[in-house]
């Protein structure tokens, strides 16, 4: 069975932050994901960033969490999708020992 991760992209309207945050999660239960999102938000707040909104892929376990906006089915966040593709490519290259 594969490992599960929660990826977050922190952006800013003032500065070009574009910070990708990765957290390993044991399962995809709502309570686990909520805890991981809250930890990531606290990390940002601890660095003096204001978290305005959290946009996620549609997942039923995340619906109803205050401050979390689940996108509709088929909707994507293009900036996040591009970063995730690049990260996956990098990880796969490292796993097989390839040089980028």
What per-residue confidence (pLDDT) applies to 81? 81
Instruction: Provide the strand spans (E) within the chain.
Output: 4-10, 19-25, 54-56, 68-70
What per-residue confidence (pLDDT) applies to 73? 62
Q: What is the pLDDT along the chain (100 residues), one digit of tens a residue?
A: 578 888 888 887 776 778 888 889 998 888 898 889 889 889 988 988 888 878 777 677 777 777 777 776 666 677 778 888 888 898 888 888 866 5
Quote the CA–CA distance of 5 and 47 in Å, as a whole number.
22
Query: Can you give the pTM of this predicted structure?
Result: 0.72
């Amino acid at each position: 069975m594969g490992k599960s991760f929660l990826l977050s992209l922190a952006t800013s309207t003032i500065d070009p932050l574009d910070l990708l945050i990765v957290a390993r999660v044991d399962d995809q239960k709502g309570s686990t994901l909520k805890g991981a999102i809250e930890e990531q938000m606290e990390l940002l707040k601890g660095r003096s960033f204001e978290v305005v909104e959290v946009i996620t892929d549609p997942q039923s376990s995340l619906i109803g969490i205050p401050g979390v906006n689940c996108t509709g089915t088929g909707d994507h966040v293009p900036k996040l999708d591009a970063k995730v593709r690049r990260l996956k490519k990098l990880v796969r290259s490292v796993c097989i020992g390839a040089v980028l």
